[in-house]
Amino acid sequence: MVQGTFIFAYAVLAEATLSFLGVGAPPYIPSWGNVINAGGKLINEAPWIALFPAIAITVTGLGLNLLGGRPPRRARPPPCAASRARADYGIFGGHL
């Protein structure tokens, strides 16, 4: 699942980049890259046309990376007693 979320985020970004450059999906197919490309021509009059799809791409990429970036709780090993003891004493050896 972890690798799948990273690959999917990369695929979304690659499709948007190729569509923005004009070598991806045809212009009549709505995609975030095509919308940003069309909004770039109107950036002075209506900046939200390019801004909202860019925010959507960013949130999607970050969300997918955060989703896959941390393994599930049951897959992580439990902390050992030594690491819990170090956490109780802090940097200088005194109790926190």
Domain assignment present for residue 14? The answer is yes
Burial 11-29 (b: 16+ CB within 10 A, else e): ebbebbeebbeeebbeeee
Check residues 92 and 65 and name the one with the higher pLDDT: 65
> Residue 77 has what pLDDT?
63
* 32 in Cβ contact with 57 (< 8 Å): yes
Total of domains in the chain:
1
Residue with tokens 């190729």: 18
Check residues 46 and 83 and name the one with the higher pLDDT: 46
pTM of the model: 0.65
Per the prediction, the chain carries an average pLDDT of 80
Which domain does 14 fall in, by range?
A: 2-89
Classified as helix, coil or strand, 39 is: helix
Domain assignment present for residue 96? The answer is no
Domain assignment present for residue 60? The answer is yes
Domain assignment present for residue 51? The answer is yes
CA dihedral 11, 6, 56, 29 (to 10 degrees): 20
